[in-house]
């Protein structure tokens, strides 16, 4: 085996790597490779990723639960027969929607596409959604609403480097994707790095070196803060009025929606001093092209998006960007820092409840007709939009909900909100099937487990946070009886609807995906497998094989019918589960440098697990003193959903009104036992980021 050029398995930065074979079976060594997103860098998650290939509890054989309740080894044929028989009988008894499929934003484009097609064509169920609903769905909804197109970054990441100012709202890239920090260099040198976060994260800490600004807002108030920033821009005549008149549909809407958010009022809501708000607005505006600046960006992350008002918070950020005339200008713009490895591609190919491939709406008759033609079925045969992730989970095993669930690339028992309810719903199912690489918390509950390939064991494509399509390549043979998720879809399709077969060959699936995407928003039709194989990494839309792709969107027009961006008036509202006398602190959840998503992979890597072995709660020293909390000793957190005991870390990096807990841990360390599943009315994103919590010292335990 020779060296193989591929990309990191984890986040959406998709750092380029070269894998080298080593003596041990199934193992590789990784070296960083130069690429525009990572510029030769890797974070420690990427450096240690090969360890996951050979972890001692790797799933290598299909498992089925026996009469005694134990998961025991079986064959692929027996497992597929069993699952197909159960699906057939459940659908005959309860209808097609009795079976649901749940996907993931880490699946390759081919798996995401096949999963959506399998649900709509083989199972003919409307119940399909994925964990991207928990990730960047609010940013996607806001971008679609304002621009008519959602591509996380509608520009290459490297464009950030020349900007004079960057406003990061709820994004901690210094921990989640450290190589991306290199792209903040221009703004940092110019003193224009502006970070909105209730914690002094590693990213917020970068503002202290120069003249940057950390806006340490009260959890749940980012929307009010951004409205106030926009208010200052408009009141101080810093807006790009010509741009607003030419490129937006309702410039006056901006004035109407921000008139009531003068900085002193925003200070009372957000806790950020009015003078700091004014300063940040002026720094951002000075970098805008309309004032002759080097360029300015507004970027959002999960901190802005994982709220019951996440779509409106991102909309406020887009409105601020429009006020300054940023979107569509080279060297400026608005973008979302997508988190999951294929968070971008994962939302384009039809595994989302309301979408078909090409990022088309499943409610659009033209889209239904086109995709049905590619799939060889009647448009009338395609189900309509289904339940979103939380609504789907909450319906499992209920009178009119699904009786069976197939999970691919997702660990719901760590990553979904209000876990007691998730456990109850999964237990109510007649059949739970999980495809995974390790026995995750969710796989351990399943009736059938399929052992599937991971990054270095499979061919495929991924799409980075910039909308750049990349090749993932095989470097090692998978162990034991491991097969691709594509084999699960193909095997079940063969048993349930053999007239429409599924390919297990990733290149064949990709070629079909290209055709299905043609003419859609995310048009991959010109990005052939051969072009990717030859080393190209192309931005969609790319409508023909002689097209060079589209690194920058919106230069002349937005994706709306009239080409103008939509200004949507939004307003601040309280968090769904706000503070009470009994629960007087905000619980905020988030991510650590050492772990990725539900931690199913990174908690199995020795170096990462040793560095951050267990969950903890960050508590401000003043609160610790008031409540008798001692650093390192246990505290109890209690919310309306449940309680947990965990060690305290006393630190002034959090606000006195805030408790921070990382979400990467399972079992008794799962903070999603406490989080709220109140949904954003548009994106259906749950409010992971904030709820009221009672904190007590638990030293007597
Ligand atoms: Fe790069 Fe993200 Fe992998 Fe770290 S986890 S090496 S930032 S792709």
Binding site membership of 43 for ligand 1 (Cβ less than 6 Å): yes
Mean pLDDT across 647-655: 98
Tell me, what's the pLDDT at 2? 86
Distance of alpha carbon 575 from alpha carbon 678, whole angstroms:
9
State whether 593 and 487 are in the same domain: no
The CATH number given to whatever domain includes residue 256 is 3.40.228.10
Binding site membership of 179 for ligand 1 (Cβ less than 6 Å): yes
Q: Do the Cβ atoms of 661 and 616 come closer than 8 Å? A: yes
Residues in the chain: 701
Binding site membership of 106 for ligand 1 (Cβ less than 6 Å): no
State whether 396 and 314 are in the same domain: no
Q: Does residue 556 fall inside a structural domain? A: no
Rounded to two decimals, the ipTM of the complex is: 1.00
The CATH number given to whatever domain includes residue 9 is 2.20.25.90
Query: What are 556-600's pLDDT values in tens digits?
Result: 999 999 999 999 999 999 999 999 999 999 999 999 999 999 999
Which residue range(s) make up the domain with 302?
Answer: 138-336
State whether 414 and 455 are in the same domain: yes
State whether 416 and 316 are in the same domain: no
Q: Pick the residue whose CA is nearest to atom 4 on ligand 1.
A: 43
Q: Does residue 599 fall inside a structural domain? A: yes
User: In the structure, what pLDDT confidence band is assigned to residue 698 with cuts at 50, 70 and 90?
Assistant: confident
Query: What are 296-321's pLDDT values in tens digits?
Result: 999 999 999 999 999 999 999 999 99
The CATH number given to whatever domain includes residue 124 is 3.40.50.740
Q: Does residue 477 fall inside a structural domain? A: yes
State whether 191 and 85 are in the same domain: no
State whether 498 and 602 are in the same domain: no
Asked whether the predicted pLDDT for residue 657 surpasses 70, the reply is yes
Asked whether the predicted pLDDT for residue 165 surpasses 70, the reply is yes
Q: Pick the residue whose CA is nearest to atom 2 on ligand 1.
A: 11
Tell me, what's the pLDDT at 164? 97
Distance of alpha carbon 499 from alpha carbon 496, whole angstroms:
9
Q: Which of 319, 336, 353 is the last residue of a domain?
A: 336
State whether 101 and 148 are in the same domain: no
User: In the structure, what pLDDT confidence band is assigned to residue 700 with cuts at 50, 70 and 90?
Assistant: low
% of the chain residues with pLDDT over 70: 99
Distance of alpha carbon 509 from alpha carbon 19, whole angstroms:
25
Asked whether the predicted pLDDT for residue 211 surpasses 90, the reply is no
Q: Does residue 561 fall inside a structural domain? A: no
The CATH number given to whatever domain includes residue 594 is 2.40.40.20
% of the chain residues with pLDDT over 90: 97
Q: Which of 283, 315, 336 is the last residue of a domain?
A: 336
DSSP 406-432: EEES--HHHHSSSHHHHHHHHHT-SEE
Distance of alpha carbon 22 from alpha carbon 142, whole angstroms:
46
State whether 255 and 301 are in the same domain: yes
Mean pLDDT across 413-421: 97
State whether 383 and 463 are in the same domain: yes
Q: Is 510 helix (H, G, I), strand (E, B) or coil?
A: helix
Binding site membership of 8 for ligand 1 (Cβ less than 6 Å): yes
State whether 169 and 68 are in the same domain: no
Q: Pick the residue whose CA is nearest to atom 6 on ligand 1.
A: 46
Mean pLDDT across 449-466: 97
Binding site membership of 35 for ligand 1 (Cβ less than 6 Å): no
Binding site membership of 46 for ligand 1 (Cβ less than 6 Å): yes
Q: Does residue 510 fall inside a structural domain? A: no
Please tell me whether the overall predicted TM-score, pTM, comes out greater than 0.80 for this model.
yes
Q: Does residue 601 fall inside a structural domain? A: yes
User: In the structure, what pLDDT confidence band is assigned to residue 21 with cuts at 50, 70 and 90?
Assistant: confident
Q: Which of 308, 336, 364 is the last residue of a domain?
A: 336
Structural domain count, the chain: 4
Mean pLDDT across 528-533: 96
Q: Does residue 104 fall inside a structural domain? A: yes
State whether 130 and 142 are in the same domain: no
State whether 315 and 387 are in the same domain: no
Q: At what angle do helices 274-286 and 222-235 cross, to 10 degrees?
A: 60
What are the residues whose beta carbons fall under 8 Å from the beta carbon of 237, sequence distance 6 or more? none
Q: Does residue 376 fall inside a structural domain? A: yes
């Amino acid at each position: 085996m020779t060296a193989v050029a591929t990309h990191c398995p984890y986040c959406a930065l998709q750092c380029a790597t070269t894998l080298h074979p080593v003596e041990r079976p199934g193992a590789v060594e990784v070296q960083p490779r130069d690429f525009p997103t990572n510029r030769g860098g890797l974070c420690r998650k990427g450096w240690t990723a090969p360890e996951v290939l050979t972890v001692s509890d790797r799933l290598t054989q299909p498992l089925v639960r026996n009469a005694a309740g134990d998961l025991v080894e079986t064959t692929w044929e027996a497992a597929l027969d069993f699952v197909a028989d159960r699906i057939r009988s459940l659908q005959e008894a309860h209808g097609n929607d009795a079976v649901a499929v749940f996907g993931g934003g880490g699946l390759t484009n081919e798996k995401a596409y096949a999963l959506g097609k399998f649900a709509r064509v083989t199972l003919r169920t409307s119940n399909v959604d994925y964990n991207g609903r928990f990730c960047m769905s609010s940013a996607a909804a806001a971008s679609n609403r304002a621009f008519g197109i959602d591509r996380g970054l509608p520009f290459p990441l490297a464009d950030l480097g020349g900007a004079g100012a960057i406003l990061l709202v709820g994004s901690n890239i210094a921990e989640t994707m450290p190589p991306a920090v290199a792209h903040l260099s221009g703004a940092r040198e110019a003193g224009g790095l502006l970070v909105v976060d209730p914690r002094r994260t590693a990213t917020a800490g970068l503002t202290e070196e120069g003249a940057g600004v950390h806006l340490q807002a009260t959890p749940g108030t980012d929307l009010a803060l951004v409205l106030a920033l926009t208010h200052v821009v408009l009141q101080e005549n810093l807006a790009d009025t010509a741009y607003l008149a030419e490129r937006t549909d309702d410039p006056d809407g901006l004035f109407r929606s921000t008139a009531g958010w003068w900085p002193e009022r925003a200070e009372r809501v957000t806790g950020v001093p009015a003078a700091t708000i004014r300063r940040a607005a002026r720094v951002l505006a000075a970098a805008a092209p309309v004032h002759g600046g080097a360029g300015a960006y507004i970027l959002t992350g999960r901190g802005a998006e994982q709220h019951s008002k996440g779509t409106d918070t991102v909309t406020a950020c887009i409105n601020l960007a429009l006020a300054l005339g940023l979107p569509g200008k080279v060297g400026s713009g608005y973008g979302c820092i997508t988190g999951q490895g294929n968070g971008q591609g994962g939302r384009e190919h039809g595994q989302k409840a309301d979408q078909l491939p090409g990022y088309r709406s499943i409610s659009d008759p033209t889209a239904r007709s086109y995709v049905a033609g590619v799939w060889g079925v009647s448009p009338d045969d395609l189900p309509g939009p289904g339940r979103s992730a939380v609504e789907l989970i909450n319906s499992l095993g209920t009178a009119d909900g699904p009786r069976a669930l197939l999970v691919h690339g997702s660990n719901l028992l760590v990553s979904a909100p209000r876990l007691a309810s998730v456990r109850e719903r999964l237990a109510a199912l007649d059949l739970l099937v999980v495809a995974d690489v390790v026995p995750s918390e969710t796989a351990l509950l399943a009736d059938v487990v399929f052992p599937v390939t991971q990054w270095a064991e499979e061919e495929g494509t991924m799409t980075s946070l910039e909308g750049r399509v990349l090749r993932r390549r095989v470097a090692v043979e998978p162990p034991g009886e491991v097969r691709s998720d594509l084999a699960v879809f193909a095997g079940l399709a063969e048993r349930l609807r053999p007239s429409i077969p599924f390919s297990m060959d990733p290149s064949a699936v990709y070629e079909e995906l290209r055709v299905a995407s043609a003419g859609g928003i995310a048009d991959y039709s010109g990005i052939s497998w051969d072009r990717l194989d030859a080393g190209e990494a192309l931005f969609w839309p790319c409508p023909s094989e002689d097209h060079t792709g589209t690194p920058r969107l919106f230069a002349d027009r937005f994706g709306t019918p009239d080409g103008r961006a939509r200004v949507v008036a939004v307003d601040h509202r309280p968090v769904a589960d706000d503070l009470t006398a009994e629960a007087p602190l905000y619980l905020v959840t988030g991510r650590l440098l050492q772990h990725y998503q539900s931690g199913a992979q990174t908690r199995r890597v020795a170096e990462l697990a040793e560095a951050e072995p267990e969950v903890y709660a960050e508590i401000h020293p003043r609160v610790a003193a008031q409540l008798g909390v001692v650093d390192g000793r246990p505290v109890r957190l209690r919310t309306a959903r449940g309680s947990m005991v965990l060690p305290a870390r006393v630190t002034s990096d959090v606000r006195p009104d805030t408790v921070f807990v990382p979400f990467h841990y399972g079992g008794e360390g799962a903070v999603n036992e406490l989080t709220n599943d109140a949904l954003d009315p548009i994106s259906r994103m749950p409010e992971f980021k904030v709820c009221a919590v009672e904190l007590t010292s638990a030293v007597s335990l």
